[in-house]
Amino acid sequence: MRTIDSKKKRKYFKLKTLSPLSENRFRIVFLILFVGLGSLFLRVGWLQVFQADQLKSKAREVQTEKRRPLGTRRSILDRNGKLIAIDEKRFKLWAHPRYFQFPGDSYGTVRKPEEVAKLLSLPLSKSVSELLQEFGNYSSGIKLAEGLTQEKANEIKKLRISGIDLEAYPQRFYPHGSLFANVVGFLDLDRRPQAGLELSLDRELKRLEKKSILRRGADGTPLPVGVQRGVFDEDQLNLQLTLDVRLQEVAVKEISKQVKAWNAKKGVVIVMDIETGALLALASTPSYDPNKYWEYSPSLFKEWSVQELFEPGSTFKPINLALALEEGVISPNGEINDDGLITVGGWPLSNWDRKPNGIITFPEVLQVSSNVGMIKIMNKLNASNYWQWLRRLGIDEVPETDLPGAVGGQIKSKQIFVNQPIEPAVAAFGQGFSITPLKLAQLHALLANGGKLVTPHITKGLRDNNESYFNTPPESKQVLSKEVTNIVLGWMETVVSFYEESGIEVNVPGYRIGGKTGTAQKSQDGLNYDSKICSFVASLPIDDPRYVVLAVVDEPKKPYAYGATVALPVVKEIIETLLVIEKIPPSIDRKEHLTINS
């Protein structure tokens, strides 16, 4: 069988003799290769000669990342670095249904909106039907959401859905809500500043951002080609204020409580460093939440303490006494007869309680807040000189301050003030002219710091972790002598002691405090004085003055509304907090207080 099989196989495998290939075949193959290579060289030449610039620009587009500024703003910090305003990165989500694809889909595949809606439903916290309704019949450019956080944006990115775009943008956020609204202000939905420091310091708050071009390799690694100097640098500077979050919280709480308790129109608190003019607290009520500004009346967007005027009343009496001492028309140990009523230019003027106080010393004039005594004292000062002193104090000037919208006070013209005796008479007890609460605090700082007129301010400067650019306040102007202001400051301390003896708690055991109340009549039409404005100002500690604290409450509606009952309790609470925050040691020369404190 094997022999037969082998024979059969031989029949199928026959050897053929080799013969040379046809020359024509070689020519055809050579021609084909020649044409192919020639076409290839022609194409390469065409690309390199005629399309080089176009191809190079396309390659650069793929390799190059263009970084455009988002238009962010600097953060605002309190004096201890706590955030008051900050830009947070948010995202808008755009959908383009005609490009919907999932990872791994073949070229040309377009997913149905229903499939995409199912994946987006969870991270967007929307139902599938809601999303489908938003998709509608549009093929592109559908805004599904805005205000998405970075975490939500990352969840959506992980889905890797083609046709879903995330657009980053900055959003201003105010962590403390209404606490600093009166000072900081806000940005509207188009990021345009509308009030406060956001408006007045708009230029300084914009970060220095620049367009940059960065080339990357195939794996995304930045290439050291064409990199401009500073392309990776970022503006990390923030605006630091002199305000203190802790003190501001107490100030807002206490003034709001009193405004509500007395059914008042509004209130303000100022805490000022008497040497530098730096404000540690500037609180107003009512206020608003800058994160939801559209829910509030625009009338709340201004800061009353620097933009509205009031007649300071008896809180101006210590300043008038200082003027009389400076001019030498009274002596520190002098006395005055207060008979309870005086007629000036045909106008009858009386004390607040319409009672006489007899012969009293100048400290007692402040203690009982004698209007008649003050009129007689200031009548010793030439009216023209008195008016010049009010001008020298800057009563009618716009204060030099970084607080937005500050206005100057109002006083009568020199002709009216000098020729109408009633004008200097009412000015003697703080009426007939008007100033802002900020100006009143500045003037009491002048009494406490030895007669220097400091510049009130709330901005400290720009700073980051490595560098700082702090502002240097203008040099203070010496207006009164230190001897005179020290005398008046001592008199103000006797006022606080007088209140204590009357059962009104002001002092903090172990500390020396000076102060003065004010209850000024208020007119809406310039004729009828049918409402009040109550205030109290304190300087502390008397032995080494450092701070002035002022509280003003406008139009309290309940009976027995006076500076001592309405404004004084606010200042006392703030002083107690201030002493702790600033770690001010007790006064060493008040032994009775030290004994109580120990």
Query: What six digits make up the tokens of 479?
Result: 């207006």
User: Tell me, what amino acid is at 13?
Assistant: F
- Residues 583 and 107: their CA atoms lie apart, in Å, by 71
DSSP notation for 363-400: HHHHHTT-HHHHHHHHTTS-HHHHHHHHHHTTTTSPP-
Q: Respond yes or no: is residue 314 known to be catalytic.
A: yes
* Tokens 């409402």 -> residue: 531
Q: At what angle do helices 317-327 and 437-448 cross, to 10 degrees?
A: 50
Q: What are phi and psi of 211, to 5 degrees?
A: -70, 140
Q: Each residue of 99-128: b (16+ CB within 10 Å) or e?
A: ebbeeeeeeeeebebeebbebbeebbebeb
List the one residue out of 114, 74, 75 whose CA is nearest residue 97: 114
- Residues 157 and 165: their CA atoms lie apart, in Å, by 9
- Cis, peptide link before residue 193, omega less than 30° from 0: no
* Tokens 């708009």 -> residue: 202
List the one residue out of 49, 119, 294 whose CA is nearest residue 195: 294
- Residues 559 and 99: their CA atoms lie apart, in Å, by 72
In three-state secondary structure terms, 102 is coil
Cβ atoms of 445 and 514 within 8 Å: the answer is no
Q: Which of 314, 434, 539, 587 is catalytic?
A: 314
Angle subtended at Cα 539 by Cα 534 and Cα 542, rounded to the nearest 5 degrees: 145
Cβ atoms of 317 and 330 within 8 Å: the answer is no
Helix ranges (H only) for 303-361 are: 304-307, 317-327
Cα atoms in the 13 Å half-sphere on the side-chain side of 261: 14
In three-state secondary structure terms, 41 is helix
Cβ atoms of 273 and 460 within 8 Å: the answer is no
List the one residue out of 307, 270, 255, 309 whose CA is nearest residue 444: 270
- Residues 343 and 365: their CA atoms lie apart, in Å, by 19
- Residues 395 and 368: their CA atoms lie apart, in Å, by 26
Q: Report the catalytic residues.
A: 314
